């Protein structure tokens, strides 16, 4: 089978490699909504008559009845003291052992200057001018780009757009500095935080790991304090951003009254592929320049000014399976050129990782009504051997907003269909892919920024961030909004042009 057929499936999902069919087995919409309402409010419906009965009984108490109750307790003083002591002990134990809340104070996404914009026509022209691609592979890249869902305003670094290209260590460092320092300058301006206040620093970048490290570059530039707890995560793919959030959460449990700074980015300059292996050319067509900086805090005094509280993180790793491990690999082609190879099994592997991840996440976030339906169908299938479809819970009942990694159009299409999400749920992911391309681990933050710019984040809203990455990994984070976000007071990369979105993105857009 030609390679073009294999890798077209990364943009257009084929029937044989779709994600698992998560189609609902219950189709009576209003019956289900009624059932969900009854189960969700079942406790209130049960307790209301009980409370009314107790209140009615108490209303019949006379002064003599109250005096008799006091006399009874007075002569059982030891029992009262023991019960009170136990209650105080258990309450103290609970407050001392419960996890510290982790707040997202604010975040910033880097928006490159207009000189870095790369239309699809410029992309094809510069690819042709390199002189390294065959005509067949230029046509292949054109087909991928036409079906990718990318628009005309994505960004590429100067070294890649230059004629001839100049991919070198100095240019890669320059790109990293632009992205990291650009996002951090905006974040410090938003939060009025001094760099010396940062106690924990985590930087993730999968493919660019210089010495000194990226985290050391940040420490040197902003003159961060000498006892800062710093980490530099490499080789962990597009889901490394949520791994960084999870690591920061754990560190904030053992470092009281601290700020944690997370920087998520990817580097294009040294990872542009100039060969003719089609499995490696797909990444050229999808990945673009971008990054984000996120400030987390465990200080209760920061709750009033924070945007979100971290509710859950769930990490799934399928690296023990050889097929999963090798589906995204950085390697040399037969001519010695280094690139990132995407396997034809990528969609199937992503589907398996997603299924495992949501199986773990479901019991943590889903209402009881959905969990009962899932458990009932599971018992029917496993115990009674009934031939019925697996019931996939309705995650729209658990979340108001979805930030799905904008890795490519195929993944977004399949998740929209199989999780039965609406166009509005998918809008942040699709518009991020269209406007900024695949910015790797930072794409989730461009998506959240889009929802904020649209004025959709209300107090109490729950947001599900989900990302896929090499290894193979699927990671989730759940956030709860602590306040309603007023877009008029926001500064993010969408604000100057949010009125232009959403736009219609055709299945095929000819260059």
Q: What sign for the dihedral angle of Cα 182, 186, 187, 188?
A: positive
| Cα 217 to Cα 211: distance, rounded to the nearest angstrom | 9
Active site annotation includes 72? no
Given 118, 284, 285, 405, which residue is catalytic?
405
238 is catalytic: yes
418 is catalytic: no
Question: Going by C-beta distance under 8 Å and a sequence separation of 6 or more, which residues neighbour residue 333?
Answer: 275, 276, 277, 280, 339
Please tell me whether the peptide bond between 472 and the residue prior to it is cis, using omega within 30 degrees of 0: yes
d(CA 347, CA 343): 9
- Measure the CA–CA gap between 214 and 219, rounded to whole angstroms: 9
From CA 262, how far away is CA 323, in angstroms rounded? 31
Residues in the chain: 511
User: Does 312 qualify as catalytic in the annotation?
Assistant: no
Which residue(s) pair with 84 in the sheet? none
Q: Point out the catalytic residue in the list 276, 317, 474, 492.
A: 317
Cα 238 to Cα 204, 235, 266, 468, distances in angstroms: 10, 9, 8, 6
Q: Look up 6 and say whether it is catalytic.
A: no
Catalytic residue among 238, 285, 327, 403: 238
Least Cα distance to 291 among 230, 214, 343 occurs for 214
Q: How far apart are CA 292 and CA 296, in angstroms?
A: 13
206 phi, psi to nearest 5 deg: -70, -45
Phi, psi of 325 (to 5 degrees): -60, -35
Residue 194 three-state SS: coil
Q: Which of 126, 353, 172 is nearest to 271 (CA)?
A: 172
Q: Which residues are annotated as catalytic?
A: 238, 317, 401, 405, 438
């Amino acid at each position: 089978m030609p390679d073009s057929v294999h890798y077209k499936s990364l943009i257009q999902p084929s029937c044989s490699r779709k994600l698992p069919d998560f189609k609902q087995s219950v189709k009576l919409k209003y019956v289900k909504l009624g059932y969900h309402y009854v189960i969700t409010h079942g406790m209130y419906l049960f307790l209301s008559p009980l409370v009314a009965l107790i209140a009615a009984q108490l209303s019949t108490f006379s002064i003599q009845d109250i005096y008799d109750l006091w006399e009874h307790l007075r002569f059982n003083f030891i029992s009262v003291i023991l019960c009170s002591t136990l209650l105080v002990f258990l309450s103290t134990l609970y407050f001392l052992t419960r996890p510290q809340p982790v707040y997202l104070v604010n975040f910033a996404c880097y928006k490159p200057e207009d000189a870095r914009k790369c239309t699809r026509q410029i992309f094809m022209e510069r690819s042709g001018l390199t002189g390294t691609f065959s005509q067949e592979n230029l046509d292949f890249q054109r087909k991928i780009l036409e079906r990718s869902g990318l628009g005309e305003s994505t960004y590429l670094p100067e070294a890649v757009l230059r004629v001839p290209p100049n991919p070198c260590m100095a240019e890669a460092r320059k790109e990293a500095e632009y992205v990291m320092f650009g996002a951090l300058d905006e974040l410090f301006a938003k939060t009025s935080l001094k760099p010396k206040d940062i106690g924990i620093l985590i930087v993730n970048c999968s493919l660019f790991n210089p010495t000194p490290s990226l985290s050391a570059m940040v420490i040197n530039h902003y003159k961060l304090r000498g006892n800062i707890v710093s980490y530099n995560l490499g080789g962990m793919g597009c889901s490394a951003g949520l791994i960084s959030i999870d690591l920061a959460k754990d560190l904030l449990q053992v470092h009281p009254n601290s700020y944690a700074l997370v920087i998520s980015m990817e580097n294009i300059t040294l990872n542009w592929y100039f060969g003719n292996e089609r499995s490696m050319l797909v990444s050229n067509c999808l990945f673009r320049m971008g990054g984000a900086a996120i400030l987390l805090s465990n200080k209760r005094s920061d709750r009033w000014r924070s945007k979100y509280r971290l509710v859950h993180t769930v990490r799934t790793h399928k690296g023990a399976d050889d097929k999963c491990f090798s589906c995204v690999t950085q390697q040399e082609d037969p001519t010695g050129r280094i690139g990132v190879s995407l396997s034809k099994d990528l969609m199937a592997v992503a589907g398996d990782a997603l299924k495992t991840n949501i199986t773990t996440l479901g019991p943590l976030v889903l209402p009881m009504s959905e969990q009962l339906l899932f458990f009932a169908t599971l018992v029917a299938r496993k115990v009674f051997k009934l031939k019925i479809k697996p019931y996939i819970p309705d995650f729209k009942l658990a979340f108001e907003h979805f930030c799905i990694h904008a890795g490519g159009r195929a993944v977004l299409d399949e998740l929209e269909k199989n999780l039965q999400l609406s166009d509005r749920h998918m809008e942040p992911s699709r518009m991020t892919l269209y406007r900024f391309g695949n910015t790797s681990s930072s794409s989730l933050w461009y998506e959240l920024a889009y929802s904020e710019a649209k004025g959709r984040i209300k107090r109490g809203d729950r947001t599900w961030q989900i990302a896929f990455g090499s290894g193979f990994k699927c990671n989730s984070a759940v956030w709860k909004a602590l306040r309603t976000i007023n877009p008029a007071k926001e500064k993010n990369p969408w604000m100057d042009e949010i009125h232009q979105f959403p736009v219609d993105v055709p299945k095929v857009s000819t260059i």
